[in-house]
Amino acid sequence: MAAKRVLIVDDEPNILVPLEFLMKREGYEVRCAHDGEEGLRAVREWRPDLVLLDVMMPRRDGFEVCQAIRADPQLAPVRVVMLTAKGRDADVAKGLALGADAYLTKPFATQDLVQRVRELLERPR
């Protein structure tokens, strides 16, 4: 079976690089995007199984990207995990209301992230 595809969208290299290493170590095929616009383009072209999506980014924030993914019926199977320092209840509620499958606040334990990604990718859509 082909490796599951994970797209990481974050504008901070100090987050992007370790996440990329972590996901590759778990056996996923990984690509990275550095802002929301690039991330949305990568989702449409590469069709990942799951997107790790930062909220605060240039050009398009994670909320906008999540909303665009959910608005496109062809992208319905894509899982979205929002990663952000914005951990207020209102932000979490907004992310989930826009269709995110999960919402993790930074800093998060890498084991929690790996577990959440694994659960989402194993669950049928």
- Residues 48-81 have pLDDT tens digits of 999 999 999 988 999 999 999 999 999 989 999 9
CATH number at 84 reads 3.40.50.2300
The stretches in the chain having pLDDT less than 70 are: 1, 87, 125
Counted domains in the chain: 1
Query: What's the pLDDT at 65?
Result: 96
Range of the domain at 94: 5-122
Query: What's the pLDDT at 46?
Result: 97
Q: Where are the alpha helices (DSSP H) in 1-125?
A: 13-25, 36-46, 62-71, 89-97, 110-122
Which of 30, 29, 31, 32 has its CA nearest to residue 1? 29
